[in-house]
């Protein structure tokens, strides 16, 4: 499954590597994603869909309750700060978006002492938000150089 295409990212192999280009982000109305086999992708994918594709529904995420944080509750709490409600109905999750955030505002988020939450929330910079995290160092568990890599990609980092 090519999940990146839902976010306007097209990739294809070429003779000496991979071609990656940006395309128009498609509208998605009726998509269900079972994330039971994708635990590491679940948070950033759900966060991206909450912003760009709130009609997408998810299942197979019960395992997220048993990670460094209760990732389902943590995600719900952080999404609520942006006016997005995470709704659960018989193991199927969806979103209700009540506000559109202006670009350039600074928002404070909690990583919930969870490396995957911190890295996922950092992606919000892609939509023009300025992100302040309470515990940016928690990424050391899985990707100690994460913030430096983001800086190399052109993101500004301010540690609080």
User: Which residues are catalytically annotated?
Assistant: 40
Cβ(135)–Cβ(159) under 8 Å?
no
Return the closest-CA partner of residue 64 out of 48, 88, 97, 85. 88
The DSSP code sequence of 104-159 is: T-EEEE--TT-HHHHHHHHGGGGGT-EEEES-GGGGGGT-TTHHHHHHHTT-----
Q: Is 9 helix (H, G, I), strand (E, B) or coil?
A: strand
């Amino acid at each position: 499954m090519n999940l990146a295409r839902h976010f306007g990212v097209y990739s294809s192999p070429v003779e000496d590597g991979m071609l990656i280009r940006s395309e128009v982000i498609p509208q998605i109305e009726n998509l269900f994603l079972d994330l039971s086999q994708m635990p590491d992708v679940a948070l950033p994918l759900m966060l991206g869909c909450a912003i760009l594709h709130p009609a997408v529904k998810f299942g197979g995420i019960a395992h997220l309750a048993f990670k460094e944080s209760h990732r389902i509750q943590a995600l719900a709490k952080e999404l609520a700060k942006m006016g997005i409600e995470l709704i659960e109905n018989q193991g199927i999750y969806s979103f209700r978006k009540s506000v559109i955030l202006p670009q350039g505002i600074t928002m404070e988020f909690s990583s919930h002492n969870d490396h995957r939450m911190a890295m996922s929330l950092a992606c919000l910079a892609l939509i023009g938000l300025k992100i302040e995290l309470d515990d940016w160092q928690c990424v050391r568990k899985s990707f100690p150089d994460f913030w430096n890599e983001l800086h190399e990609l052109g993101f500004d980092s301010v540690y609080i």
